[in-house]
Amino acid sequence: MAYSEKVIDHYENPRNVGSMDKSEAGVGTGLVGAPACGDVMKLQIKVEDGIIKDAKFKTFGCGSAIASSSLVTEWIKGKSVDFAQAIKNTEIAEYLSLPPVKIHCSLLAEEAVKAAVADYKSKKAK
Amino acid sequence: MTKSNIKLPIYLDYQATTPMDPRVMEAMIPYFMEKFGNPHSRSHSFGFEAEEAVEKARAQVANLIGADPKEIIFTSGATEANNLAIKGVANFYKAKKNHIITLITEHKCVLDTCRHLEKDGFRVTYLPVQPNGIVDLKLLEDSITDQTSLISIMAVHNEIGVIQPLEEIGKICRKHGVFFHTDMAQGFGKIPIDVEKCNIDLASISGHKIYGPKGIGALYIRRRPRIRLVPIINGGGQERGMRSGTNPTPLIVGLGKAAEIAGQEMEKDMIYARNLHDRLVGAIMKGAKDVYLNGDAKIRWPGNINLSFAYIEGESMILAIKDLAVSSGSACTSASLEPSYVLRALGLDEEMAHTSIRFGIGRFTTEEEIDYATKLILSKIDQLRAMSPLWEMVQEGIDLKTIQWAQH
């Protein structure tokens, strides 16, 4: 698999790897994918006043999956929840020049962000 | 990590192909320009000289498996030999018998050939294997019917290295009057195989898996009792009518020489591969948790090491250890995102099959290279697991089987 330089960069120097305490207020956690499919992403956000102060991820998956999740954490940090929710997988795929067989990795990253936001919102509503 | 005098990347994919042995290259060279004759030319010395070289190579190949030189015909490789053996026998005997038995873990070229025969009206049984990758002999024998013409089971597995019980399979075949074909691409020249002792009727051979050239292989076809087959390639009737086309003398000379060397150095090669196998597997198992060797731990060609690194996706591991030229399975299927059908056949969960990598070692692999590889693998296991949500969950005591995963 020939990867773009951007994928290799994010794969070799992944940004924001790590975990936050799920129970902490303002933290939203998204867990998407399935081990049987070869991709699982966990993405967490910490929100204060509608702004994502911090984002962390852990990914089980190929180079593209790791790069896609690393990239979105970088994109959403310091941005509003609404901005994060609006990120499209096509933007991720385009930025990383993902080959067609790897488009699903960018979709998973989009879903991970949406799942983290949804979790944050449902916690807040309680 | 010190690089010392190691040349990177390190080649650890000896099941995909091997570099040529310099002694093989040397034997081939005269047959490109000086002794370029067509081995089928009967009217001049150029032809005789080439023919002599081809016949010498035929004997070298035959000697290695206890066959008669007349029982060897040259092909373009093991894929062609497998096609010829299976289609050739199936079609020749189809008026009487129309059933073939093989294993679901066979190489793609055997499985695909069988699929084609199914379209032509043949019936094929694809048998499962035991969790160690070895055929269940009772199941095999029970699957034979009076319609079974051929059983095709490979000698040494390309992905997991396990060795099938050829002698026992041969006995079963003989008892029931079924022809026994074995794809020995990964076994020829590596483990002792005697076609008489194992009652093998047809055997496929490859040159480039044993330090010979690419583009050459052979098919052993038993003469007593005589096995008949319908040729796939028609033409001038070379190779006793079973494979037309001009024999590529230099490639054949190379295969012969590679076979001769393999015979002389088999024991040495095997001990060498065994030591490197133990060195790599021992150090990795000692240094990391949750790493598993796929396929039987003992009944195997030690040059093939297929490991599952739980909670680390295989492709990300390959990327992480890019100083090592390895593969996640067969080179023929490495473009696919599907986990290996072979590992799934061993009963591995799909998730575990996604974490597997094949390390292939051979005659030119050094201890220093193995030590470098081991250190690199161990450091990347830690790094990738630190990034793995699955590893984190397991460390927290979560059973991954209890999670409702969204399937894609």
DSSP H helical segments within B215-248, as ranges?
A: none
B254 and B306 inside one domain: no
Residues of A marked active site are found at 37, 105
What's the number of domains chain B is made of?
A: 2
The answer on B274 and B230 residing in a single domain is no
Chain B residue nearest residue A64, CA to CA? B316
DSSP string, B352-382: HHTTEEEEE--TT--HHHHHHHHHHHHHHHH
* Dihedral angle over CA of B150, B151, B156, B157, nearest 10: 110
Q: Is residue B402 part of a domain?
A: no
Last residue of a domain, one of B262, B282, B310: B262
The residue among B212, B247, B262 that closes a domain is B262
Closest residue to A14, CB basis, from B339, B387, B390: B387
* A vs B: CB pairs below 8 A: 80
CB proximity A40 to B under 8 Å? yes
Q: Looking at B109, B173, B198, B332, which residue is catalytic?
A: B332
Instruction: Determine the residue of chain B that is closest to A115 in CA distance.
Output: B406
B387–A61 CB contact, under 8 Å = no
Q: What is the CATH number of the domain that holds B243?
A: 3.40.640.10
What's the confidence (pLDDT) of residue B408?
Answer: 54
Q: Is the peptide bond before B225 cis (omega within 30 degrees of 0)?
A: yes
pLDDT at residue A36, as a whole number: 87
CB proximity A61 to B under 8 Å: yes
For B350, the domain range is 10-18+265-397
pLDDT of residue B139: 98
Which residues of B are less than 8 Å from A108 in CB distance? 408
pLDDT above 70: residue A8:
yes
Domain range A5-121, CATH architecture: Alpha-Beta Complex (3.90)
* pLDDT score of B330: 53
Shortest alpha-carbon distance between residue B311 and chain A (Å): 7
> Residue B27 belongs to what H/E stretch?
helix B22-28
| B129 and B275 inside one domain | no
Give the pLDDT confidence score for residue B333 in this predicted structure: 46
Instruction: Please tell me whether residues B167 and B232 are part of one structural domain.
Output: yes
Residues B191 and B53 in one domain: yes
Residues B208, B170, single domain; the answer is yes
Q: Which of A85, A102, A86, A83 is nearest to A94 (CA)?
A: A102
B202 phi/psi in degrees, rounded to 5? -140, 140
- Indicate whether B273 and B353 sit together in one domain: yes
pTM: 0.93
Whether the predicted pLDDT of A57 surpasses 70: yes
Chain B positions in Cβ-Cβ contact with residue A37 (cut-off 8 Å): 350, 407-408
Contacts B387 to A, Cβ<8 Å: 14, 17, 58-59, 66
Query: Per the structure block, which two tokens stand in for B84?
Result: 């010829």
Query: What residue of B is the nearest CA neighbor of A111?
Result: B406
Residue B332 annotated among the catalytic residues of the structure: yes
CA dihedral B360, B366, B371, B377 (to 10 degrees): -30
Domain end position, chosen among B225, B245, B262 = B262
Beta pairing, strands B72-75 & B217-221: antiparallel
Q: Which pLDDT value is given to residue B405?
A: 86
Residue B403 lies in a domain: no
Series of mean pLDDT values for 10-residue runs along chain B (408 residues): 78 98 98 97 96 98 98 98 98 97 97 98 98 98 98 97 98 98 98 98 98 98 96 96 97 98 98 98 97 97 97 93 86 59 92 93 97 98 96 94 79
- Nearest CA-CA distance, residue B347 and chain A, Å: 13
> Across the interface, which of B387, B400, B405 has its CB nearest the CB of A59?
B387
Return the pLDDT at B334.
46
Contact A60 B406 (CB under 8 A): no
Q: Sketch the domain layout of chain A as residue ranges.
A: 5-121
Other Cβ atoms within 10 Å of A55 Cβ, number:
27
B82 and B168, same domain (yes or no): yes
Alpha carbon distance B259, B217 (integer Å): 11
Note whether B246 and B337 are same-domain residues: no
Q: Residue B188 corresponds to which amino acid? A: F
Q: Residue B2 has what pLDDT?
A: 53
Asked, for residue B407, whether it belongs to a domain, the answer is: no
Q: Is A83 on the interface with B (CB under 8 A)?
A: no
Q: Which of A60, A70, A104, A114 to mutate to test the interface with B (most CBs of B within 10 A)?
A: A60
Same domain? For B33 and B72 the reply is yes
pLDDT one-digit tens code per residue, A13-33: 999 999 999 999 999 999 999
Same structural domain for residues B308 and B250? no
Least CB–CB distance from B316: residue in A34, A66, A108 = A66
CATH of the domain at B350: 3.90.1150.10
Domain match, B274 and B232 both: no
Assess if residue B408 is contained within a domain: no
